[in-house]
Amino acid sequence: MKIKPAPRIVVTDRTVFVQPNLDYFPEIYRILSNPKVMQFVTTGKRSKAETKQETIDWMKHWKKHGFGPYLVLDKREGNLIGFAKLYLSSRSPWVQVGYAIDDHLWGIGLGSEIAKSLLKIGFENLGEEALAGFVRLENKPSRRILEKVGFQLQTENFQQENRIYAHYTLDAADYFQMQEFRQAS
Q: Is-above-0.95 flag for pTM?
A: no
Class of 9-184 per CATH?
alpha beta
8 Å CB contact between 86 and 68: yes
Write out pLDDT tens, residues 74-128. 999 999 999 999 999 999 999 999 999 999 999 999 999 999 999 999 999 999 9
Q: Are strands 92-101 and 130-136 parallel, antiparallel or unpaired?
A: parallel
CB contact at 8 A, 154 and 167: yes
> How much of the chain, in percent, has pLDDT values that exceed 70?
98
**Which residues fall within 8 angstroms of residue 120, CB to CB, at 6 or more apart?**
none
